[in-house]
Amino acid sequence: MRKPIIAGNWKMHNTIAEGMKLIRGLIPLVKGVKDVDIVVCPTATALAVVTSTLRGKNIQVGAQNVHWEKDGAYTGEIAAPMLKEIGVKYAIVGHSERRQYFGETDEGVNKRARAAFAAGITPIICVGESLATREKGTYLRFVARQVRLATNGFQPEEAAKLVLAYEPVWAIGTGKTATFEQAEEVCAHIRQTITRLFGAAAGDKIRIQYGGSVKTATIRGLMEKPDVDGVLVGGAALKAVDFSQIVKFQ
């Protein structure tokens, strides 16, 4: 059985004070939850204080991005060893907003994912199609290509430890959510792609999330699907009660 992973992406929300208020509200609400990996992904300025506060708790911390070099003249970037030093366990790479607004490419996503993994940080690799691609009917091929390019260079036993997040671009921040069947179709196809690339063991073990306007009203239906191993949450992760209910599939 794959352990579910519920991750909350704060995006560019919450000062340190606001983030700490959210964390302090969340801790008691999810206390005792052991059968789900709980992850919060704060803004970069809050990473150190959040990881310090959550040390020893059942909530892990992820970064929203990571650079592929260990150091260097890359103004504004953060290297994987720097994240590792403060206790970050996960890093989101290839989010559609990074691709859309900051020109990130499949090659860059792969480099970021490999750098994170090499530092002992689990990458959450985001893939997903635009509305135009879905309407053309080529979305399965498109997502499979993203998966193939993002995982290039990993060994089968390494690929099994990755997290992939299927986020249809047309459902991010729009209030629209893919139907449970649509989410399952693509997540199953991602698993088949991993199996084809790395073998059955990796396909069985890799965890695949769904993301895109996830709400308390949709979490149970999503998690009932056999190839959905968790969710990557946006707006609902900014409210402690809502996020805790998603963690508990309520």
What is the DSSP secondary-structure string of 114-133?
HHHHHTT-EEEEEE---HHH
Burial class (CB in 10 A: 0-12, 13-18, 19+), 34: exposed
Let me know if 67 is a catalytic residue. Answer: no
Q: Is 224 a catalytic residue?
A: no
Local confidence pLDDT in tens for the 250 residues of the chain? 899 999 999 999 999 999 999 999 999 999 999 999 999 999 999 999 999 999 999 999 999 999 999 999 999 999 999 999 999 999 999 999 999 999 999 999 999 999 999 999 999 999 999 989 999 999 999 999 999 999 999 999 999 999 999 999 988 777 777 899 999 999 999 999 999 999 999 999 999 999 988 999 999 999 999 999 999 999 999 999 999 999 999 8
SS3 content of the chain, % helix, strand, coil (to 5): 50, 15, 35
- Cα gap 53→47, rounded to integer Å: 10
pTM score: 0.96
- CA nearest 62: which of 92, 35, 82? 92
First to last CA, the chain: 21
Tell me the Ramachandran region of residue 32: left when phi exceeds 0, alpha when psi lies from -120 to 50, beta otherwise. left
- In 31-136, which residue ranges form alpha helices assigned H by DSSP? 47-54, 80-85, 96-102, 106-118, 131-136
Unique residue bearing structure tokens 């997502």: 143
Which sequence spans correspond to the domains of the chain? 5-247
Looking at the structure, give the CATH architecture of the domain made up of residues 5-247.
Answer: Alpha-Beta Barrel (3.20)
From the list 97, 129, 167, 184, the catalytic residue is: 167
CA atoms within 13 A on the CB side of 159: 25
Q: How many Å apart are CA 30 and CA 8, to the nearest integer?
A: 13
Cβ(143)–Cβ(127) below 8 Å = yes
Residue 134, SS3?
A: helix
* Catalytic residue from among 67, 95, 184, 189: 95
